[in-house]
Each structure stands twice: as structure tokens, then as C-alpha cells.
Amino acid sequence: MNDLRDFIARCEAEGELRRIEAEVDWDLELSHIAKLNEEKGGPALLFQNVKGYNSPVLTSACTTTSRLALIMGMPRDTSLVELMREWVKRTKNKIPPTWVDTAPCKENIDKGDQVNLLKFPVPKFFPKDGGRFFGTACFVITKDPTSGWINLGTYRLQVLDKNTLGTQFIKGKHADIMLKAYGELKKPMPVVAVVGADPLMFLMGAARLPAFESEFDFAGAIRGRSIEIVKGETVDLPIPASAEIVVEGEVDPVAMKPEGPFGEYTGYYSGIGTTPRPFIKVNCVTYRKDPIFWISTVGRAVTDTHMTMALTYGATLWQGLEAMRIPGIKSVYCPPEGAGRFLAIISVKQMYPGHSAQVGTAAISTEMGAYGLKTVIVVDDDIDAWDLPRVLWALSFRFNPSRAEFIKRGRSTPLDPSLPIDSRDITSRIIMDATIPYEWKEKPIPIELDKDIVKHVQGRWAELGLE
């Protein structure tokens, strides 16, 4: 798979995409269709007739595990946990990107006064949103001014006027760290924002890789080949050659404009009204002929934001535990209903006393877990982390609240609606150890079926009228 068009063709061939020919309004109508479709577990949608526009809008590309599997080049019936396992395996061998001279995203080049962000069918999603959001299924590329580290991160982008995009780089995110570095040098930060590309690049934008690691190298690892990149017209930054729409501009580290509000994947707004935030002054927009405008809805689970994060945050947590060399990790699952980040379940084959406790405290200290993860459930290896009925069984019959660990202070996210709206820097955490303690000499005696009798009655199944 090379670009978004290949992905669309693949989805269509597999019955995973519906084209909408009827005229649909970008103003609330389009997002509402997408959201209701996602709630039903529906296909990806390609809106081909957006009121007042000639170019299409793609939604719901990542809402199901089957479509995430297609993005990763895996069979459609691969489970989320298997996708994560494959992600962890493939990303061990990073492959740097390769420069190419040109790409279809240079077919149209608008500079200076020609720039008009509303030339594209930018939707308004929800009634209480602060405006139209250009960047949802997007990613932002920046370069660290001292080390040269290239980052790619998904951060929402609001249209403030025809050549200005509001940003929300949450504290400590890589674009925020880099912007502060430009601030110290008193220089504007060059940025590129991409809408539509090889869909893997969007997953990489959402992935919580460590600082100083480039998402391009990890994308190459997952694809098993180097990602092709082209130079910007006005900025010295790498752009995936597969891009549909490329916005080039700069962020002044001290200037602010009101941004938001925008509904979040928690199902709530994260603040009250607008907030002053850094913005992108857009100097150039390049795009393919008939560009495909790709969006991602938000709100209550499950949307493609949740699925994307369940895969990428879950894989990052798994990677983090492996990097700590903790043995016995059988599976990791960060349910999409918790946006892959507030709740994690880990299955471990215990090998020594305190092993399960180590897994719990390690999880909240990984790159992913240290930020916003609130509840960790550890289960024994006879239970798969994704098998929620069995996890609830363990929570009922193996878990004893006196073996829970309660941590009072940890880094939180401004998005967490369980904290007061004006103080969301710090959260508490709980580790629920639902394993049978390794050191117990007398363990609960499980009820087992007699193997021979099982075989015998299975042989009688039809006779018993049960088939």
C-alpha cells in the first residue's frame, strides 16, 4: 500500500467502503452521518458530493480492527492484539526514509495570497465546536532546532481564517517540546501539516514514540521498506510523497490566538470556551489533483480515534514493557472504549514472587503509561488480556482489594473529565493485581473437566440433538 488511494481501492475490494453520491453538507451533516455510521460499526465512507465543493471527504477509515489490519498489510480477520504484537515485532528494525525528487502532492502549489484553507471541504463536526477543523486525521511534522530530530504527531488544527490554523499541542507532546526550543532561540518553528497520505502515517502520528525517535523510521519498519519523502516548497522538512494535501507554514513561539473548543474522544469538551494557543501562519499549500480530504470524528467511543489509539498506544505500552526487559508478558490490551490509554490489561506468566506487582508498576512508568494511564489490571497467563469476560471473572474471584496499589500522583491529561476542569495536571492511579499470588503454597483448586468424558460426550453430540 502506497497511499490513501490504494487504501480506498483495497477497502472497496474487501467490501469495507461505501461511496456516498448524494449531496451532503459539510456543516454538521457530514460528521453526523459518519458518527452514526461508526456507532453501527459501518464501513469507511467516501463522501463524493460535499455541498459547494468538488473534492471528496473520507471518514471512518480506522473504525474497525479489520481496516486497521488492512492498513498494516495484514489479513482482515487479524485481532487487535495480534496487530499490536506484529507492530512490536516489526518496529524492532527501524528503516529511515528516502528522499525522492517530486511527488503528486506537488501537482498544485498555492503560495502567499493564493492560500485559502477553505478551498477544501473542511467540516464543522459538533454544534458546540469553535469552528471548522481542518486537521483531525492529519499529522504535523516538525524538526528539533538543535538535534535535527524529525517528529510527526497528530494534533488537531482549527481554521481560524483562510491562512491561519489554530493548534493544540498539549504540554510535553513533541511539537510542544520543539516549539519551546524554538522559543529559546527566538525563532519561528517551521511546520508541515498533512491531510491524507499512506494511512499508516496517520497511525504513526498518533503513536506515542519516545522523544528523539522519528515516526518515519518506525513507519518504514512496519511497511518493511523505506518511506519516500519530498522536500517542502517553503520549509526544510520531509513530507511523505504519498500526501494528498500539504500545508506549509510557521508557528511563532510566543503569539497566541483563541482556539477551540472541540469535542474530544472522551465524549466531552476538554475546556470551557476558547483557549489562547499557538497557531500556524500558512505560507503555502500543495495538493494532488482531486485531493481527498480525510477526517476523523471524535466524541464517545468507538470512533477511529479510539481504534487508532487502542492499537498505537497499546503497542507502545507493550514495547515499553519489553524495553524494560520484563519477562513473561503474554498480551497487552488497552480497550478502545478507554481510547487505548486510560485503562490497560496485561496478561503475565508469573515466574517469581512479586512478578505481577512488577508488571503493574512498570506499566505506569513506561512512556505511554506515565501519561494519563489510570487503571492497570494484571491477570495470569491463562487469561488473554483482551478477553473481557474472563478478565471480569478474575477481578471477581482472584482479585482482592487489599492487593491493589494506589498511586496518588502521576502525570495527567487535560482531557480527563474525571478531574475538575481547571486542575487536570495530576491524576491518581490504581494497579489491580487480579493474579493468584505466585508465592501461595496452596492455590485455589480449579474445577476441571475429565478429558476422556469430554471426548466421549463430544462423540454423542449429534445423538443428543445438540448439533
Ligand X SMILES: Cc1cc2nc3c(=O)[nH]c(=O)nc-3n(C[C@H](O)[C@H](O)[C@H](O)COP(=O)(O)O)c2cc1C
Taking residue 81's Cβ as centre, other Cβ atoms within 10 Å add up to 22
Q: Does 63 bind ligand X (CB under 6 A)?
A: no
Of 31, 163, 168, 427, the one binding ligand X (CB under 6 A) is 168
Taking residue 14's Cβ as centre, other Cβ atoms within 10 Å add up to 14
Give the distance from CA 234 to its chain's centroid. 29
Q: Does 218 bind ligand X (CB under 6 A)?
A: no
Closer residue to Mn ion, CB minimum distance, 297 or 319: 319
Least separation in angstroms between CB 24 and ligand X: 21
Q: Does 370 bind ligand X (CB under 6 A)?
A: no
Site for Mn ion in 120-159 (CB under 5 A): 151
Candidate segments 47-55, 171-179, 424-432, 440-448, binder of ligand X by CB under 6 A: 171-179
Candidate segments 169-177, 376-384, 402-410, 429-437, binder of Mn ion by CB under 5 A: 169-177
Q: Does 206 bind ligand X (CB under 6 A)?
A: yes
Instruction: Tell the burial category of 369 from Cβ atoms under 10 Å away from its Cβ (0-12, 13-18, 19+).
Output: buried
Q: Residue 4 and residue 44: Cα distance in Å, rounded?
A: 12
Q: Does 55 bind Mn ion (CB under 5 A)?
A: no
Closer residue to Mn ion, CB minimum distance, 8 or 207: 207
Q: Residue 194 and residue 180: Cα distance in Å, rounded?
A: 22
Q: Residue 252 and residue 256: Cα distance in Å, rounded?
A: 8
Closer residue to ligand X, CB minimum distance, 64 or 305: 305
Question: The C-alpha cell of 141 is what?
Answer: 511534522
Q: Residue 291 and residue 194: Cα distance in Å, rounded?
A: 12
Mask 114-153, x = binds ligand X (CB under 6 A)?
----------------------x--------------x-x
- Nearest CA among 57, 58, 81 for reference residue 69: 81
Least separation in angstroms between CB 199 and ligand X: 12
Least separation in angstroms between CB 120 and ligand X: 17
Least separation in angstroms between CB 174 and Mn ion: 4
- Nearest CA among 274, 279, 223, 224 for reference residue 251: 279
Q: Does 208 bind ligand X (CB under 6 A)?
A: yes
Taking residue 53's Cβ as centre, other Cβ atoms within 10 Å add up to 16
Least separation in angstroms between CB 143 and Mn ion: 12
Q: Does 414 bind ligand X (CB under 6 A)?
A: no
Of 17, 197, 200, 309, the one binding ligand X (CB under 6 A) is 309
Q: Residue 237 and residue 219: Cα distance in Å, rounded?
A: 17
Candidate segments 5-13, 124-132, 175-183, 204-212, binder of Mn ion by CB under 5 A: 204-212
Q: Does 170 bind ligand X (CB under 6 A)?
A: yes
Q: Does 173 bind ligand X (CB under 6 A)?
A: yes
Asked if 165 contacts 229 with a C-beta cutoff of 8 angstroms, the reply is: no
- Binding-residue total with Mn ion (CB under 5 A): 3
Least separation in angstroms between CB 39 and Mn ion: 31
Candidate segments 8-16, 102-110, 165-173, 217-225, binder of ligand X by CB under 6 A: 165-173
Of 35, 156, 174, 306, the one binding Mn ion (CB under 5 A) is 174
- Nearest CA among 318, 320, 348, 321 for reference residue 333: 318
- Nearest CA among 69, 74, 137, 81 for reference residue 315: 81
- Residue that has been written with the C-alpha cell 499512506 in this structure: 198
Instruction: Tell the burial category of 156 from Cβ atoms under 10 Å away from its Cβ (0-12, 13-18, 19+).
Output: buried
Least separation in angstroms between CB 173 and ligand X: 4
- Residue that has been written with the C-alpha cell 497557531 in this structure: 279
- Nearest CA among 18, 9, 15, 70 for reference residue 44: 18
Residues that bind ligand X (CB under 6 A): 136, 151, 153-156, 168-170, 173-175, 205-208, 296, 305, 308-309
